[in-house]
Structure 1
Amino acid sequence: MSDFEFDLFVIGAGSGGVRAARVSAGYGARVAVAEEYRVGGTCVIRGCVPKKMLVYGSHFAEDLEDAARFGWTVENAKFDWKTLRDNVLADVDRLNGLYQNTLDNNKVTTFHERATITGANEVTLASGRAVSAKYILVATGGWPVVPNIPGAEHGITSNEAFHLEDLPRRVVIAGGGYIANEFAGIFHALGSQVTIVNRSDQILRGYDEQIRDRLLQISLTKGIDFRFNAPFDRIEKRDDGCLVAHFKDGKPPIECDAVMFATGRTPNTDGLGLESAGVAINDKGAIVVDAHSRTNVKSIYAVGDVTDRVQLTPVAIREGHAFADTVFGGNPRTVDYACIPSAVFSNPPLAGVGLTESQARQQLGQIKVYTSDFRPMKNVLAGRQERSLYKMICDAATDRVVGLHMISPDAPEILQAAAIAVKAGLTKQAFDDTVALHPSMAEELVLLK
């Protein structure tokens, strides 16, 4: 018998932690999980899942507007924020229950309280109970960054956005990343006046420049305002509840009803007691791990956003699964971080995989770029001028497709399948040899010239 109460103790019941716990238990390990909030983690409880539901809800604004061109008469259509909010939160409750059932069905012990590390093989629960484990896995995810400015307490983050009592009439969103652009699309479509404020001069750093420029152009056309090179100075709250965002360098202030900070996420390591076991963290506060997710302390591992490798839910899941296979399954595995597809559920959404044009030129030198700039059939009949853009980047020496990037309705759905081709190292000729599926937006991928 082991000298420890558990073979594995997981801190954090998000996507990575739950997968690691479930698979490890399947290998016969005695597993416990501690979660101080709700089982499911950022993605399920306060991230990509409820956000995508809000995206779906916001799409009806344009669909109802376009309906007349397709012969539909929709009278007295109106939107109620509380109905959407409450239905989304109800589904979050359902998913929370499913995740808990997964742990229970795999005989994983769940402690619904905070746990901190108090030794290389020990955690202490908020109730005061000390628990020993042969291995400890930290999977506590990330947390929204709130700028250190006067009045920051008057703002919200994406965490609180799902619980707003009322839809703000005017909202200022700080940041230029995917969270900022996604919520800008949601709030604007639902009727809010939206201003994105960014301290730099560009949005969606890291995405293909031509694609992100197209999103900026479309967003401006829709009526979303942007203010660049505008670092915040302070947030003022007036007696009537109105907020005023003040900026440095003499830029004019903006009056609004809500300020949302979407300025990135930081690894959630504060107060975990990592120093008590001597676990190394980097200058970003992330836990330092090797290719097998092991820290410098041989009994302690970490997966997901808390390690600041790739902050995506499917990556955390793969890391958690690889950990279980390696430590308890006798099958040492690492995660391949090359060619990970990603998407921004903006309006319209964009998606990409592989190298951007700029990255390809830097790494490969000679490349070939193929594009398709077109108006989707639905937009044509609806009378919308909004255009889609698909972009394929190839290594000129081998014809291998090294990057695919697109902005278009359903771009994430299309790219998931296309990403397989990029990951497999297929050539442009392989796309050309594939017969088009007509009429579809996806067919543009095999018709690129």
Structure 2
Amino acid sequence: MSEFDYDLFVIGGGSGGVRAARVAAGEAGAKVALAEEDRYGGTCVIRGCVPKKLMVFASEYRDMPAAARAYGWDIQDGQFDWTTFRQKLNAELDRLEGVYRKLLAGSGVETFDARATIKDAHTVTLSTGEEKTAKHILVATGGRPMRPDMPNAHLGMVSDDIFHLETLPKRVLIVGGGYIACEFACILHGLGVEVTQFYRGAQILRGFDDEARGLIAEAMSDRGIDLHTGTTIVEMHKIGTPEAENMGEAPVDDVQYGHSEVEETGNGPLRVKATNGTIRDFDAVFFATGRKPNTDDLGIEGLGLELGRNGAIQVDEYSQTGVPSVYAIGDVTDRVNLTPVAIREGMAFVNTVFHGNPTPVDHELIPSAVFTQPEMGTVGLTEEAAAEQEEVEVYCTSFRPMQTAFADGSGRVLMKLIVSKANRTVLGCHIVAPGAGEMIQLAGIAVKMGATKEDFDRTVAVHPTMSEEIVTMRNPTRTV
């Protein structure tokens, strides 16, 4: 009989933790328990990837009637109904949470709807007062959005709050320039919200390819998003308070907004002063200024482990902490914060611990997508990063695709390959286009396999498509 209650105790019911628990129990035959204090499915299913992508789909229909008319359809513009959409969205999230619970039960995982903290190397304490022991503990508690360190930051929303709004604001200020900020700027604009975006840096989407992010910034502005770089909030107060009155009146831009009223939404209406000196009123302010691993009061420090940058649990290539029985995967480690990566880390953990097959996690050449409008798909090195390490050839083309050009649309797409001049390997692929996320998944296979530019050239184009440009660019745009 084992000296422990379980072979594995997983803390966190997100995608990574659930996958590790299911595989350890179902395939490896381990006795497994999992504790989740909130909803099963974690950030991705409940308050991230899934609801956000459904909102992306909803927002993209805004342009459909005009495009259809350009193609000869007699179709009129419509109105978006947030209440109808939100009810269906919530029903879908409930369904998905139920799927996660059934998968765990079907694999023989015992679940606890409770908060779990680590007491020692083999013991967890539940918020119900119970204590459970396990030979191995896996921390998969994810991360959470953070508000900036400024007065009245509590008056602003974060990404978790978007999905719980009873009504959509008419005017929103989004603060931040990362992928979450830019995705929600496009989403809310598509749903009919008047969107202003502040970002303190020189260009949005820092860390992505400069040419690609520049095209997205241009497209967002062309669509009507009021984007201000080099700008952030100086102060923010609720309208009606003495502090807001002391800031002065915000000018009403009837040409831009078409109305002057600001309605109560969440903690709004709010008056905001920016670093560029302007004073504006908004129904809501949405902070997308970073995320933090969920390690607060988890018991990590009691194990003698030091937390890394931003409060992340530090692990080795096998996701093992400095305490041999304790492992961590997913956003709580702040390595590559993507759901498919957390799932891969969970699978590697099971292989290492329960199958006796030490499996390091592969974080190289991970494809990813930013669901702006248009989307960006990327894998490998940016032009800037590649040029720092070796001489490269850049193959790039930007054009109006057939479907857009026929409808007299202005939107452009970008196809870009970064190629090693020394060995011809494709070091990076960057696509800005409708459906770029779908395209980059397939391009990512070739890049991961180490395909050369000549391998791309030998591939016959699928015509007429946007993506055919990836295999038809013969001459480099530049060498850097």
TM-score by length of 2: 0.91
Aligned to 1:224: 225
Q: State the distance in 1 between where 2:274 and 2:397 align.
A: 40
Measured against aligned partners, the alpha-carbon deviations of 1:375-398 in whole angstroms (never above 9, x if no partner) come to: 111101221011101101100111
Q: State the distance in 1 between where 2:364 and 2:87 align.
A: 39
List structure 1 segments (4+ residues) > 3 angstroms apart after TM superposition: none
Say which of 298, 304, 311 aligns to 1:285: 311
SS at match of 1:172: strand
User: 1:279, CA displacement in angstroms?
Assistant: 2.4
The answer as to whether partners of 1:150 and 1:233 remain within 8 angstroms in 2 is no
Letter in 2 for 1:5: D
Say which of 395, 403, 414 aligns to 1:389: 414
User: 1:301, CA displacement in angstroms?
Assistant: 0.4
User: 1:433, CA displacement in angstroms?
Assistant: 0.9
Q: State the distance in 2 between where 1:174 and 1:411 align.
A: 25
Q: Percent identity?
A: 51
Taking the TM superposition and a 5 Å limit, the aligned residue runs for 1:38-57 are: 38-57=39-58
Q: State the distance in 1 between where 2:226 and 2:387 align.
A: 32
Aligned to 1:177: 178
Aligned to 1:264: 290
Aligned to 1:88: 89
The answer as to whether partners of 1:10 and 1:139 remain within 8 angstroms in 2 is yes
Taking the TM superposition and a 5 Å limit, the aligned residue runs for 1:368-379 are: 368-379=393-404
Gaps of 5+ in 2: 241-263, 475-480
Aligned to 1:302: 328
Moved more, 208-217 or 334-343: 334-343
Taking the TM superposition and a 5 Å limit, the aligned residue runs for 1:21-420 are: 21-26=21-26, 27-75=28-76, 77-239=78-240, 241-248=268-275, 251-364=277-390, 366-420=391-445
Moved more, 392-401 or 222-231: 222-231
The answer as to whether partners of 1:280 and 1:295 remain within 8 angstroms in 2 is no
Q: State the distance in 2 between where 1:254 and 1:19 align.
A: 46
Measured against aligned partners, the alpha-carbon deviations of 1:233-261 in whole angstroms (never above 9, x if no partner) come to: 3321113742112334x621221111111
Q: State the distance in 2 between where 1:417 and 1:79 align.
A: 33
Measured against aligned partners, the alpha-carbon deviations of 1:194-233 in whole angstroms (never above 9, x if no partner) come to: 1111122221111000000001111111111122222323
Measured against aligned partners, the alpha-carbon deviations of 1:259-313 in whole angstroms (never above 9, x if no partner) come to: 1111111111011111222222113100000011000011110000000100000
Counterpart check, 1:6 vs 2:32: no
The answer as to whether partners of 2:270 and 2:283 remain within 8 angstroms in 1 is yes
Residues 193, 281 of structure 1: alpha-carbon distance in 2 compared, 3 angstrom cutoff: same
Q: State the distance in 2 between where 1:225 and 1:77 align.
A: 23
Kindly report the root-mean-square deviation, in angstroms, between the aligned alpha carbons of the 2 structures. Answer: 1.2
Aligned to 2:451: 426
SS at match of 2:309: coil
Q: State the distance in 2 between where 1:216 and 1:339 align.
A: 25
User: 1:179, CA displacement in angstroms?
Assistant: 0.3
The answer as to whether partners of 1:149 and 1:232 remain within 8 angstroms in 2 is no
Letter in 1 for 2:397: S
User: 1:76, CA displacement in angstroms?
Assistant: 5.8
SS at match of 1:156: coil
Give the aligned length: 447
The answer as to whether partners of 2:199 and 2:228 remain within 8 angstroms in 1 is yes
Measured against aligned partners, the alpha-carbon deviations of 1:73-113 in whole angstroms (never above 9, x if no partner) come to: 22362210111122112111111011111100001011001
Q: State the distance in 2 between where 1:77 and 1:232 align.
A: 35
Gaps of 5+ in 1: none
User: 1:447, CA displacement in angstroms?
Assistant: 0.7
Letter in 2 for 1:377: M
Residues 211, 76 of structure 1: alpha-carbon distance in 2 compared, 3 angstrom cutoff: closer
Letter in 1 for 2:156: G
The answer as to whether partners of 1:36 and 1:114 remain within 8 angstroms in 2 is yes
